[in-house]
Chain A
C-alpha cells in the first residue's frame, strides 16, 4: 500500500513541478509577443495556476506525510545502518523546506490574487521562485532516496 501511495505522491509532485515551473517562468518573463517555443512556454496567465498549485502542494504534503511514518521506520533506519548520513541530511532539509513552503501558501495566494497588484510583482516572483525551488529540491531528493532504498526492497 505504501508503495502505491508513494507513486501517487510522486505523480502529484510531477504535476506540481510542471505547474510551478511554468508559473515561475511566466512571472519573470517580460511581456512580449511569443514567437518561439520558449516564449510561448512563459506566455501563460500565471495567476490561473495559483489555486491548482495550492491544491497539488497540499495533496502532495498529505500523501508525503502518510508515507513519512513507514519511511522513518524502514528507510531511514536502513540509511543509518548503511552509514549514509548525507542521505538522511538531504531528507531532513527536504522536510523543512516542504513545511516552510506549506506555510508560505497563504502569502503566495495573496500576492497572486487577481487583479494583480503591480506593487507586489517582486514579492509574487520571488515567493513563486522559492516554492519552485522547494518543489524541485523535494522531488529530486525523493527520487534519489527512492533509488538508494525504496519501500519493500
Chain B
C-alpha cells in the first residue's frame, strides 16, 4: 500500500503531504456520517412542516416529522474539517491510499446491513 509520503519521496506525485489532508477529511467525514446516523449524532433537526431548524426535539404533534439528514451531514462535515486541520500533514501523508476505498466499501456494507429492516 502506497502512502502520500512515499509517492512524494519518489517524485511520482506532487500531491505530497500538503494535500494529504483531503484524504483525512474524507476518511473522518465518511466514518462520522455513518456513526452519526447510527447513534443519532445530528448537529440539529430540521422540521419541514415548520420550515425550522432546532437543536432540540420538538413535539411531533405540532411540528410534524423531524429530518435528521442535514444534521448528520453537518456533524460529519464539522468532524472532517476539524480532523483535517488538526492532524499534522506528516501523519496525514502516511495514510495508505487503500484506506480511501476500503473504508467506504465497509461503510457501504454497514449501511446495507443497517437498513435491511425495511426489506424483512
| Interfacial residues, chain A to chain B (CB-CB below 8 A) | 65, 68-70, 72-73, 77, 85-86, 88-90, 92-93, 95-97, 99-100, 102-111, 113, 115-120, 122-123, 126-127, 130
Q: Tell whether, in the assembled complex, residue B22 and residue A120 are in contact, meaning their CB atoms are under 8 Å apart.
A: no
Provide the bound-state CA to CA distance between A126 and B72, in Å: 25
Q: Return chain B residues, CB-CB under 8 Å to A120.
A: 2, 7, 13, 97
Q: Is B87's CB within 8 Å of the partner chain A?
A: no
Q: Tell whether, in the assembled complex, residue B7 and residue A100 are in contact, meaning their CB atoms are under 8 Å apart.
A: no
Q: Tell whether, in the assembled complex, residue A85 and residue B13 are in contact, meaning their CB atoms are under 8 Å apart.
A: no
Provide the bound-state CA to CA distance between A122 and B70, in Å: 32
Provide the bound-state CA to CA distance between A93 and B112, in Å: 7
Q: Is B43's CB within 8 Å of the partner chain A?
A: no
Q: Tell whether, in the assembled complex, residue B118 and residue A92 are in contact, meaning their CB atoms are under 8 Å apart.
A: yes
| Interfacial residues, chain B to chain A (CB-CB below 8 A) | 2, 6-7, 10, 12-15, 19-20, 22-23, 25-27, 29-30, 33-34, 37, 46, 48-49, 51, 64-65, 67, 69-70, 72-73, 76-77, 80, 97-98, 100-101, 104-105, 107-108, 111-112, 115, 117-119
Q: Return chain B residues, CB-CB under 8 Å to A103.
A: 25-26, 29-30, 33, 76-77, 80
Interface SS of A by simple majority: helix
B25 to chain A: closest residue by CB: A106
Provide the bound-state CA to CA distance between A113 and B72, in Å: 29
Tell me the minimal C-beta distance from A104 to chain B in angstroms.
Answer: 5
Q: Return chain A residues, CB-CB under 8 Å to B12.
A: 115, 117-119
Tell me the minimal C-beta distance from B114 to chain A in angstroms.
Answer: 8
Q: Which of B33, B48, B111, B119 contacts A73 (CB 8 A)?
A: B48
